[in-house]
């Protein structure tokens, strides 16, 4: 049996906690829902939101005003996210979510 040694990447003060080496920009990441197949769109968005820690945020780009999604988020996580509409259509909606 071969033993494989795994060394951790050096800590980078600007890197993400996943240690991928990407620098954090300080601007919230964008999730473009128009690129996600409709069948898995809501679960993918919910997963992204649930991965946020307190004080972190993201911007969702949606093809329409996501009223059913917002209701689903509020039902599952009441009062957890502050929601700000940055751009209201008509082709794309930009919605900022910040986890409290």
Q: Is residue 17 part of a domain?
A: no
Tokens at residue 49, please? 């939101």
What is the total count of domains within the chain? 1
Residues with Cβ within 8 Å of 13's Cβ and at least 6 positions away in sequence, in order, are: none
Q: Is residue 61 part of a domain?
A: yes
Q: Is residue 65 part of a domain?
A: yes
Tokens at residue 100, please? 């409290």
Q: Is residue 38 part of a domain?
A: yes
Given pLDDT bands bounded at 50, 70 and 90, which one contains residue 10? very low
CATH number at residue 90: 3.30.110.40
Residues with Cβ within 8 Å of 56's Cβ and at least 6 positions away in sequence, in order, are: 28, 98, 99
Q: How many CB atoms lie within 10 A of CB 73?
A: 20
Q: Is residue 90 part of a domain?
A: yes
Sheet harboring 30-32: ordered strands across? 30-32, 57-62, 93-99, 81-88
41-93 pLDDT, tens digit per residue, is 999 999 999 999 999 999 999 999 999 999 999 999 999 999 999 999 999 99
The pLDDT score that the predictor gives to residue 19 is 55
Q: Which range, of 24-28, 61-65, 73-77, 95-99, averages the lowest pLDDT? A: 24-28
Q: Is residue 95 part of a domain?
A: yes
For 75, the domain range is 30-99
pTM above 0.85, yes or no: no
């Amino acid at each position: 049996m071969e033993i494989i040694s795994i060394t951790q990447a050096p800590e980078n003060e600007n890197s993400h906690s996943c240690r991928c080496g990407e620098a954090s920009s300080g601007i919230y990441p964008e999730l473009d829902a128009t690129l996600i197949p409709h069948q898995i769109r809501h679960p993918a968005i919910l997963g992204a939101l649930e991965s946020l820690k307190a004080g972190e945020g993201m911007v969702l780009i949606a093809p329409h005003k996501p009223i059913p999604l917002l209701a689903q988020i509020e039902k599952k996580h009441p009062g957890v996210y502050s929601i700000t509409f940055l751009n209201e259509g008509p082709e794309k909606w930009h919605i900022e979510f910040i986890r409290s």
